[in-house]
Structure 1
């Protein structure tokens, strides 16, 4: 894991959450070696929470990590369903109501997002929703980043060419990233995914023969469809993968073929690869 990138990710999420939540206090951190180090804090009136380390299974956040679901203490001081290992930090800040939302990546708890208030009050879906979104944003960013790192590190270039298995793995990674990007609402994250997609396409460019220059711009959806075609998927399979109608997939494919001046989908994929549009 990249500690600096982790810190920046948590800080960005906490700053954004602080702007959109009704809770005055927001703090969060990621898990490492069985404990969550709080690295980003917003809105506190004291330094009680600074440097807080939450162990799995301990306190409200530790319970949320174990259960992989949000936990809420409307009256933190008298809550009986949690351990009170961190009362000095939480009560030292004067927090009365505390919400802990676990950051879960592919079924594994990876951190905690906390929201707290100094006075007790009701916490409904509308109030808690921004915290859920923040945890989802962090989880998505971690999942994308780690999958990219795993896939890219598995590639072993040899004399500027990739082994067939690595080339296929790269193409699957590219198609998966296209699918993930289509479901991500955050524009900054989409831009970062797009940058990684371009790197993946560049890695394999030498493996598909002499490159060509094309004055062609494919739309995001046309690239999505071609990326799936490159894996041998049928129109029906592409439609299911991208949540599109089969007729819509056919239209995107025909448009891409026309732009690439290709008579078949296979020719379109080959030409797109040689132009560096696809891996």
Structure 2
């Protein structure tokens, strides 16, 4: 099965990676795609001289890329036309494009191949570590984004809607709720996908509303905190120090202190604990 993320978002992710790789690599042609139902449609191409790669779908175990996916390791065909260790299902496409040397790097997430990044040359060209490194970085970058998306999707699926929440939350359940909220804030801060960030924001609001329904209904405070101010307060709610918050959010300790002071000012709170309490009563934190 493919990623649960929508295909438009997948295509944009691959397109960005291919565009960046084309600028960094010595290979004149770069193309890539993500796996769907056991096959990899090539959705992004940079540097092609013909339209031979248009519509190419690579199946696991077939060709150089298919072998790389099965083996979960990079594969190189220095002379693609005469390579004996691969099937030649896609000769018409690859040789028709004029590719002589082809390098394929699988995109591996949690032990499963999720796609392929290809680099090719018109003539036979040696591929050492320095030449291969940009392709490795591109595959790793895509894999990291997919890993984050998978985690976000898993959390979204596991969330219980407010109307199905139990009538009362135990202290341990309340603490789990707050930890989940803080972790979702941290994940959202690292996301480049705007649609997923919006979905995360909706889940965060649901988490806060679950807690608010258990309390006094809120004070009706009209307070607007910036995303980073809310991130910092969410970590404060778990008892984290400024140094620990900085490490979790990839911020300098001084920057954390600045966000915290700003949030305290907006909430008219003299301590971080008072700020957290007021943010909870205002429905900004669970």
TM bucket, shorter chain? 0.7 to 0.9
- Shift in Å, 1:65: 1.8
| Structure 1 residues not aligned, in runs of 5+ | none
Q: Distance in 1 between matches of 2:125 and 2:118?
A: 16
Distance in structure 1 (CA, Å) of the matches to 2:38 and 2:221: 51
SS state at 1:204 partner = helix
Q: 1:192 and 1:129 mapped to 2: Cα distance?
A: 31
How many Å separate the matches in 2 of 1:33 and 1:256? 49
Provide structure 2 residue ranges, at least 5 long, that are not aligned to the other structure.
Answer: none
User: Which residue is equivalent to 1:43?
Assistant: 47
**Residues 206-245 of structure 1 mapped to structure 2, 5 A cutoff:** 206-207=209-210, 208=212, 209-210=217-218, 212-215=220-223, 217=225, 220=228, 222-231=229-238, 238=245, 241-242=248-249
Farther-moved stretch of structure 1 (148-157 vs 168-177) = 168-177
Distance 1:155 1:166 in 2: 13
The CA distance in 1 between the partners of 2:174 and 2:81, in whole Å, is 57
Counterpart in 2 of 1:65? 69
How far is 1:239 from its partner? Answer: 6.3
Q: Does structure 1 residue 198 correspond to structure 2 residue 195?
A: no
Deviations 1:160-212 (A, max 9, x none): x7455987666444433444466x5xxx8176665444323322343313264
The 5-angstrom pairing of residues 1-279 of structure 1 reads 1=4, 2-159=6-163, 162-163=165-166, 164=169, 171-180=178-187, 184=190, 189=192, 194-207=197-210, 208=212, 209-210=217-218, 212-215=220-223, 217=225, 220=228, 222-231=229-238, 238=245, 241-242=248-249, 251=257, 255=261, 258-259=264-265, 260-262=267-269, 265-279=272-286
Look up the SS of the partner of 2:145 in the other structure: helix
- Number of residue pairs matched? 272
Tell me the SS of whatever aligns to 1:101. Answer: strand
Q: Kindly state the Cα deviation for residue 118 of structure 1 after the two structures are TM-superposed.
A: 0.9
Partners of 1:262 and 1:156 in 2: CA distance: 32
Structure 1 residues 104 and 250: CA distance shift in structure 2, 3 A: same
8 Å contact from structure 1 (residues 75, 97) kept in 2: yes
Query: Is the Cα contact below 8 Å between 2:78 and 2:125 reproduced in 1?
Result: yes
TM-score by length of 1: 0.75
**1:170–1:200 CA contact under 8 A, matched in 2:** no
Question: Contact 2:33–2:43 at 8 Å: present in 1 too?
Answer: yes
Partners in 1 of 2:142 and 2:20 — Cα distance?
12
Higher mean displacement: 104-113 or 82-91: 82-91
- Could you tell me whether the CA contact under 8 Å between 2:162 and 2:209 is conserved in 1? no
Instruction: Tell me the TM-score normalised to structure 2 length.
Output: 0.74
**Which of the pair has more CA radius of gyration?**
2
Distance verdict in 2 for CA 1:74–1:237, change over 3 Å = same
